[in-house]
Amino acid sequence: MDYTLDYLKESLSNWVDRDDRALNLFHKIENHQFPNEEAFVEVLSEEETEYLHDVLRKEMAYAKNEQDEVRYSQLSDVFEQLI
């Protein structure tokens, strides 16, 4: 089973109190049944893509600093789809 979007949703939850864009992306994942991160990224607007790119850079840096290789890898999978 692929948990990539679950990791993304958890990362976005760290930002929902600070930014409505994070909340919108969180709800987009929660309210749709995307089969994978590729399908999710395909429906993003340019603004959402840019925002998520910035958030993922920060979240991946945190995961790397905490030596959480699984989290880093899962978030990296989404990040690669944004490029």
pLDDT, tens digit, for every residue of 28-78? 999 999 999 999 999 999 999 999 999 999 999 999 999 999 999 999 999
Q: How confident is the model at residue 7 (pLDDT cuts 50, 70, 90)?
A: very high
Instruction: Give pTM, 2 decimals.
Output: 0.92
Using H for helix, E for strand and C for coil, what is the string for 6-44?
HHHHHHHHCCCCCCHHHHHHHHHHHHCCCCCHHHHHHCC
Residue 83 pLDDT: 85
Domain boundaries of the chain, sorted by first residue: 4-82
